[in-house]
Amino acid sequence: MRCPFCLHEETRVLDKREAEDAESNRRRRECLNSNCAKRFTTYERVEAPELTVMKKDGRREMFEPAKVRSGILHACEKTRVTGERIDRIVSEIEAELRFGSPSEEVTSSEIGERIMEKLRALDKVAYIRFASVYREFADVAEFERMLKEMKKEDKAERVKEAAVA
């Protein structure tokens, strides 16, 4: 690491610790040039790959967590889901997409499915709201089909829980 004061190329690390954001390491360094010997701080962080989203119409755009948050926020209006929980979901989805996939390109449908998975576990009303927009429900019959499917799955879960108890 080059000293920012005298540009000497030799420095030593005096102290290393995780930074407050838990996303980087903080290092205190000292210049080994005897005429300088100044101390400075550097940060090391993982460089996240750029994530590209392939839209349904074939367009590509950069992944924007704010768009994911906005969609979830609309679905969660007037529910008991907190903004903190929504932020956590957005962070989880972004981490899964960035670090859980070998590709730096994801489809918008993959993002939508991940959002629905998280909302289904979190709040059924928010899940149905999001699904109705995401899957472009055309009529009430599609809502009814989804509700019947959810009721059947809930009943199967209760039966499974009762058998375990």
DSSP result, 81-107? --HHHHHHHHHHHHHHHHHS-S-SEEE
pLDDT at 145 over 80: yes
Burial class (CB in 10 A: 0-12, 13-18, 19+), 68: buried
**Cα separation, 61 vs 29, whole angstroms:** 40
pLDDT at 163 over 90: no
CB atoms within 10 A of CB 130: 22
**C-beta of residue 2 within 8 angstroms of C-beta of residue 33:** no
pLDDT score recorded for residue 11: 95
Q: If pLDDT is split at 50, 70 and 90, which confidence band does 144 have?
A: confident
pLDDT at 21 over 70: no
Does the model's pTM come out above 0.75? Answer: no
**Domain segments of the chain as ranges:** 11-45, 52-144
pLDDT score recorded for residue 155: 84
Eight-state DSSP code of residue 16: E
Mean pLDDT of 115-129: 92
What are the pLDDT digits (tens) for 39-97?
A: 999 988 877 678 999 999 999 999 999 999 999 999 999 999 999 999 999 989 998 88
